[in-house]
Amino acid sequence: MTRDESFDNLRPLHSLYYIVTLKNISRSWCALQCSMHQYLCRAILYNEDLFSCYLLNCYQNERLVDRGRIDGGWEFWIQNDACPTGWVPFQYHCYFLNKTTVPWSQAKVQCEYHGAYLLEIDSGEENTWAMETFLPLWNAADCSNWWDCCECWIGATDIEIEGMFTWTSHVNISFSNWYARQPDNLNMAHCVRICRNGFWDDTSCHRNNTFICEMVYF
Ligand SMILES: [Ca+2]
Ligand SMILES: [Ca+2]
Protein backbone atom coordinates (compact mmCIF):
# COMPACT_ATOMS: atom_id res chain seq x y z
CA MET A 1 0.00 0.00 0.00
CA THR A 2 1.12 3.60 -0.58
CA ARG A 3 0.66 6.45 1.87
CA ASP A 4 -1.09 9.52 0.47
CA GLU A 5 -0.53 12.18 3.11
CA SER A 6 -2.71 14.74 1.37
CA PHE A 7 -5.73 12.88 2.74
CA ASP A 8 -4.39 12.10 6.21
CA ASN A 9 -6.81 13.01 9.01
CA LEU A 10 -9.75 13.37 6.61
CA ARG A 11 -12.69 11.03 6.64
CA PRO A 12 -15.18 10.32 3.84
CA LEU A 13 -18.43 12.23 4.20
CA HIS A 14 -20.71 9.27 3.67
CA SER A 15 -20.94 5.93 5.40
CA LEU A 16 -21.45 4.31 2.00
CA TYR A 17 -17.69 4.56 1.38
CA TYR A 18 -16.82 2.44 4.44
CA ILE A 19 -16.70 -1.32 4.24
CA VAL A 20 -15.95 -2.08 7.88
CA THR A 21 -14.38 -0.58 11.02
CA LEU A 22 -11.88 -2.65 13.00
CA LYS A 23 -10.61 -1.87 16.52
CA ASN A 24 -7.46 -2.83 18.43
CA ILE A 25 -5.41 -3.96 15.44
CA SER A 26 -1.97 -3.00 14.10
CA ARG A 27 -1.50 -1.15 10.82
CA SER A 28 -0.03 -4.20 9.08
CA TRP A 29 -3.03 -6.26 10.19
CA CYS A 30 -5.32 -3.51 8.93
CA ALA A 31 -3.54 -3.58 5.54
CA LEU A 32 -3.85 -7.36 5.46
CA GLN A 33 -7.59 -7.12 6.13
CA CYS A 34 -7.83 -4.76 3.16
CA SER A 35 -6.09 -7.22 0.84
CA MET A 36 -8.38 -9.97 2.07
CA HIS A 37 -11.28 -7.86 0.80
CA GLN A 38 -9.32 -7.77 -2.52
CA TYR A 39 -11.34 -5.82 -5.21
CA LEU A 40 -13.76 -4.29 -2.71
CA CYS A 41 -11.21 -2.62 -0.41
CA ARG A 42 -9.31 0.18 -2.15
CA ALA A 43 -7.84 2.13 0.76
CA ILE A 44 -7.51 2.27 4.54
CA LEU A 45 -7.53 4.92 7.21
CA TYR A 46 -5.44 3.87 10.18
CA ASN A 47 -4.98 5.58 13.54
CA GLU A 48 -1.90 4.54 15.53
CA ASP A 49 -3.05 6.24 18.72
CA LEU A 50 -6.41 4.48 18.73
CA PHE A 51 -5.33 1.27 16.92
CA SER A 52 -8.41 1.79 14.75
CA CYS A 53 -8.76 0.78 11.12
CA TYR A 54 -11.30 1.78 8.49
CA LEU A 55 -11.52 -0.19 5.26
CA LEU A 56 -12.74 2.01 2.38
CA ASN A 57 -14.21 0.97 -0.97
CA CYS A 58 -12.78 3.94 -2.88
CA TYR A 59 -9.91 6.42 -2.88
CA GLN A 60 -10.46 9.74 -1.16
CA ASN A 61 -10.90 12.84 -3.28
CA GLU A 62 -11.68 16.48 -2.58
CA ARG A 63 -15.43 16.00 -3.02
CA LEU A 64 -15.65 12.95 -0.76
CA VAL A 65 -14.05 14.53 2.29
CA ASP A 66 -15.02 17.31 4.68
CA ARG A 67 -11.99 19.57 5.13
CA GLY A 68 -13.87 21.45 7.84
CA ARG A 69 -13.66 18.40 10.05
CA ILE A 70 -10.14 17.13 10.66
CA ASP A 71 -9.36 14.39 13.19
CA GLY A 72 -5.77 13.85 14.30
CA GLY A 73 -3.71 10.72 13.94
CA TRP A 74 -5.26 9.19 10.84
CA GLU A 75 -3.04 7.91 8.04
CA PHE A 76 -4.48 7.34 4.57
CA TRP A 77 -3.11 4.41 2.55
CA ILE A 78 -4.24 3.23 -0.87
CA GLN A 79 -4.12 -0.13 -2.60
CA ASN A 80 -2.27 0.59 -5.83
CA ASP A 81 -2.95 -2.47 -7.94
CA ALA A 82 -6.51 -1.62 -8.76
CA CYS A 83 -7.01 0.25 -12.00
CA PRO A 84 -5.09 1.56 -15.02
CA THR A 85 -3.32 4.87 -14.43
CA GLY A 86 -5.79 7.73 -14.20
CA TRP A 87 -8.78 5.44 -13.62
CA VAL A 88 -10.51 5.68 -10.25
CA PRO A 89 -11.69 2.57 -8.39
CA PHE A 90 -15.06 2.16 -6.71
CA GLN A 91 -16.34 -1.16 -5.47
CA TYR A 92 -15.49 -3.71 -8.19
CA HIS A 93 -15.04 -1.26 -11.06
CA CYS A 94 -12.70 1.41 -12.49
CA TYR A 95 -13.92 4.75 -13.83
CA PHE A 96 -12.51 7.49 -16.02
CA LEU A 97 -13.90 10.93 -16.83
CA ASN A 98 -13.06 11.97 -20.40
CA LYS A 99 -13.39 15.75 -20.59
CA THR A 100 -13.41 15.99 -24.38
CA THR A 101 -16.94 16.65 -25.62
CA VAL A 102 -18.28 14.32 -28.30
CA PRO A 103 -21.63 12.89 -29.48
CA TRP A 104 -22.95 9.90 -27.54
CA SER A 105 -22.02 7.23 -30.11
CA GLN A 106 -18.42 8.49 -30.23
CA ALA A 107 -18.22 8.43 -26.45
CA LYS A 108 -19.43 4.82 -26.54
CA VAL A 109 -16.75 3.86 -29.08
CA GLN A 110 -14.01 5.61 -27.13
CA CYS A 111 -14.90 3.70 -23.95
CA GLU A 112 -14.93 0.43 -25.90
CA TYR A 113 -11.49 1.23 -27.30
CA HIS A 114 -10.19 1.02 -23.71
CA GLY A 115 -12.01 -2.24 -22.99
CA ALA A 116 -14.59 -0.29 -21.04
CA TYR A 117 -18.19 0.86 -21.54
CA LEU A 118 -20.11 4.08 -20.99
CA LEU A 119 -21.01 4.47 -17.32
CA GLU A 120 -23.77 2.11 -16.17
CA ILE A 121 -25.24 3.19 -12.86
CA ASP A 122 -26.75 0.33 -10.90
CA SER A 123 -27.42 1.91 -7.51
CA GLY A 124 -27.88 5.15 -5.65
CA GLU A 125 -24.45 4.61 -4.09
CA GLU A 126 -22.79 4.43 -7.49
CA ASN A 127 -24.76 7.47 -8.69
CA THR A 128 -23.72 9.54 -5.64
CA TRP A 129 -20.11 8.44 -5.85
CA ALA A 130 -19.81 9.21 -9.58
CA MET A 131 -21.39 12.63 -9.04
CA GLU A 132 -19.10 13.52 -6.13
CA THR A 133 -15.99 12.17 -7.81
CA PHE A 134 -16.35 13.49 -11.35
CA LEU A 135 -18.94 16.22 -11.72
CA PRO A 136 -18.16 19.87 -10.95
CA LEU A 137 -20.19 21.54 -8.23
CA TRP A 138 -23.47 23.12 -9.21
CA ASN A 139 -22.91 26.85 -9.71
CA ALA A 140 -26.23 28.65 -9.98
CA ALA A 141 -24.70 31.42 -12.11
CA ASP A 142 -23.72 28.90 -14.77
CA CYS A 143 -26.94 26.95 -14.51
CA SER A 144 -29.85 29.37 -14.80
CA ASN A 145 -31.30 26.64 -17.01
CA TRP A 146 -30.85 23.36 -15.18
CA TRP A 147 -30.17 21.50 -18.40
CA ASP A 148 -27.06 23.65 -19.00
CA CYS A 149 -25.49 21.74 -16.11
CA CYS A 150 -26.24 18.31 -17.57
CA GLU A 151 -23.02 17.74 -19.45
CA CYS A 152 -21.84 14.17 -19.09
CA TRP A 153 -22.95 11.10 -21.07
CA ILE A 154 -23.84 7.85 -19.37
CA GLY A 155 -24.53 4.56 -21.12
CA ALA A 156 -28.35 4.68 -21.14
CA THR A 157 -30.30 4.94 -24.41
CA ASP A 158 -33.75 4.28 -25.83
CA ILE A 159 -32.50 4.38 -29.40
CA GLU A 160 -33.95 0.93 -30.19
CA ILE A 161 -37.42 1.21 -28.66
CA GLU A 162 -38.74 4.65 -27.74
CA GLY A 163 -39.25 4.93 -24.00
CA MET A 164 -37.50 1.65 -23.22
CA PHE A 165 -34.15 2.66 -21.77
CA THR A 166 -31.35 0.09 -21.70
CA TRP A 167 -27.62 0.21 -21.03
CA THR A 168 -25.24 -0.21 -23.97
CA SER A 169 -24.92 -3.85 -22.88
CA HIS A 170 -28.68 -4.10 -23.74
CA VAL A 171 -29.45 -4.81 -20.08
CA ASN A 172 -32.63 -3.09 -18.93
CA ILE A 173 -32.14 -0.21 -16.50
CA SER A 174 -32.97 -1.30 -12.96
CA PHE A 175 -31.90 1.84 -11.08
CA SER A 176 -32.70 5.29 -12.47
CA ASN A 177 -32.42 8.86 -11.21
CA TRP A 178 -34.42 10.97 -13.66
CA TYR A 179 -34.80 14.69 -13.26
CA ALA A 180 -38.35 15.84 -12.55
CA ARG A 181 -40.49 15.49 -15.72
CA GLN A 182 -37.77 13.46 -17.47
CA PRO A 183 -37.40 11.55 -19.69
CA ASP A 184 -39.44 13.78 -22.05
CA ASN A 185 -38.11 12.63 -25.45
CA LEU A 186 -37.87 16.33 -26.40
CA ASN A 187 -36.56 16.70 -29.98
CA MET A 188 -36.01 12.95 -30.31
CA ALA A 189 -34.01 12.56 -27.11
CA HIS A 190 -32.60 9.04 -27.17
CA CYS A 191 -29.40 9.35 -25.13
CA VAL A 192 -28.92 10.07 -21.43
CA ARG A 193 -26.67 12.51 -19.63
CA ILE A 194 -26.08 12.99 -15.92
CA CYS A 195 -26.33 16.47 -14.40
CA ARG A 196 -24.04 18.00 -11.79
CA ASN A 197 -26.61 17.27 -9.09
CA GLY A 198 -26.74 13.59 -10.06
CA PHE A 199 -30.12 13.63 -11.85
CA TRP A 200 -30.50 12.30 -15.39
CA ASP A 201 -31.90 13.87 -18.55
CA ASP A 202 -32.60 12.36 -21.96
CA THR A 203 -31.33 14.49 -24.82
CA SER A 204 -30.32 14.36 -28.48
CA CYS A 205 -27.50 11.87 -29.08
CA HIS A 206 -25.86 14.39 -31.43
CA ARG A 207 -24.98 16.85 -28.67
CA ASN A 208 -21.36 17.11 -27.54
CA ASN A 209 -20.80 16.12 -23.93
CA THR A 210 -18.05 14.81 -21.68
CA PHE A 211 -18.42 11.17 -20.67
CA ILE A 212 -17.48 8.61 -18.03
CA CYS A 213 -16.16 5.16 -18.96
CA GLU A 214 -16.39 2.19 -16.62
CA MET A 215 -14.70 -1.20 -16.59
CA VAL A 216 -14.64 -4.19 -14.27
CA TYR A 217 -11.37 -5.13 -12.59
CA PHE A 218 -9.35 -7.49 -14.67
CA1 LIG B 1 -36.28 8.82 -26.40
CA1 LIG C 1 -35.00 15.48 -21.75
Tell me if 103 sits within 8 A of 206, measured CB to CB: yes
- Comparing CA positions, the residue from 199, 98, 189, 103 lying closest to residue 149 is 199
The 3-state DSSP class for residue 31 equals helix
Please tell me the distance between residue 184's alpha carbon and the centre of ligand 2 in angstroms: 5
From ligand 1's centre to the CA of 154, what distance in Å? 14
Q: Which pLDDT value is given to residue 183? A: 97
- List, by residue range, all CATH 3.50.4.10 domains of the chain: 2-78
Sequence-distant (6+) residues with CB within 8 A of 38 are: none
Q: How many residues does the chain have?
A: 218
Report, at the CATH architecture level, how domain 88-216 is classified.
Roll (3.10)
Give residue-wise pLDDT tens across range 154-181: 999 999 999 999 999 888 999 999 999 9
d(CA 203, ligand 1 centre) in Å = 8
**Which pLDDT tens digit goes with each residue over 51-90?**
999 999 888 888 788 888 888 899 999 887 668 888 998 8
How far is Cα 19 from Cα 114, in angstroms, rounded to an integer? 29
Compute the distance from residue 67 Cα to the ligand 1 centre, in Å: 41
Rounded to two decimals, what is the model's pTM?
0.79
Amino acid at 141: A
Tell me the fold of 2-78: Hepatocyte Growth Factor (3.50.4)
Ligand 2 ion: Cβ-proximal residues, 5 Å cutoff: 182, 184, 186, 189, 201-202
Ligand nearest to the CA of 201: 2
Q: What's the gap in Å between 63 CA and the centre of ligand 2?
A: 27
Q: Do 11 and 45 touch, CB atoms closer than 8 A? A: yes
For the chain, give every residue range classified as CATH 3.10.100.10. 88-216
Would you state the pLDDT for residue 56? 93
The ligand placed nearest to the CA atom of residue 162 is 1
